[in-house]
Amino acid sequence: MFNVLLRAFFMFIMVFFLVRLMGKRQVGELQPYEFVITMMTADLATIPLSDLSLPLVWGIIGILVLSFCQLLISVLSLKSARMRKFFCGRACVLIEHGVIQENELAHLRYNLNDLLEQLRTKDVFDISTVNYAILETNGELSVLLNKENMPPSCDELEVQASPTEMSITLISDGRTITDNLVKAQKEDKWLEKHIKNAGFASPSEVLLAQYIPGQQIFLQGRMPKGRSCVLKVKD
């Protein structure tokens, strides 16, 4: 039993090392070579756990080799456009000026149903509104609508937009995040005042509190008082 636990621990460390090396990507954002390395790593990690007669070092060496391949390909892709095209492929235009590019679809073995499904995930239900649709190297579809179908900008509406600020989480699951409170340049008394104004007795009754500097503070209560409110703030 101890042997299995020890092997599982070392395999976890090695796989974790490789995943950290690959960066913070979701599965749908992986390049083809990264996806292959991920699949092979999963297989190599399970072999020493399923067969205790095999030396643990075999699995470790295999994962180290994959880590080296990942690092080498990343460096080559960064330094050379040809290598980047070879390992990652190229982006393909599937729709240009509202016209579906059949040759590209055939080359990619990408049928119309796939294209329409991807467009619907982008909230596009009418191809005539699409100016460009580009299939990226990670399989994601980027869509550029015609100008007349784009949402109007503030300049076009001739209105002045409010400055955009990132919200700061002050309370999470009933606990005050002191570092974020300092970042917001606020004190506990200021937060407690707004909590009481919202009808909560203490931070422990608040599930989430997010503050947008100079604009508002959002508070969501914990169950059974799962109500929420938005308080306007100027200080």
Q: List Cβ neighbours of 228 (8 Å cut-off, separation of 6 or more).
A: 218, 219, 220, 221
pLDDT band at 29; cut points 50, 70, 90: low
Q: Using CA atoms, how far apart are residues 81 and 56, in angstroms rounded to an integer?
A: 38
- Of 27-31, 53-57, 220-224, the range with the lowest mean pLDDT is 27-31
**Closest residue by Cα to residue 174 from 225, 197, 208, 199:** 208
pTM: 0.61
Q: Using CA atoms, how far apart are residues 173 and 33, in angstroms rounded to an integer?
A: 39
Give me 180's structure tokens. 């974020």
* C-alpha dihedral (44, 47, 53, 58), degrees to nearest 10: 0
Q: Using CA atoms, how far apart are residues 152 and 173, in angstroms rounded to an integer?
A: 38
- Position 119 scores a pLDDT of 93
pLDDT tens for residues 152-207?
777 766 677 666 678 899 999 899 999 999 999 999 999 999 999 888 989 999 99
- Residue 104, number of CB atoms within 10 A of its CB: 15
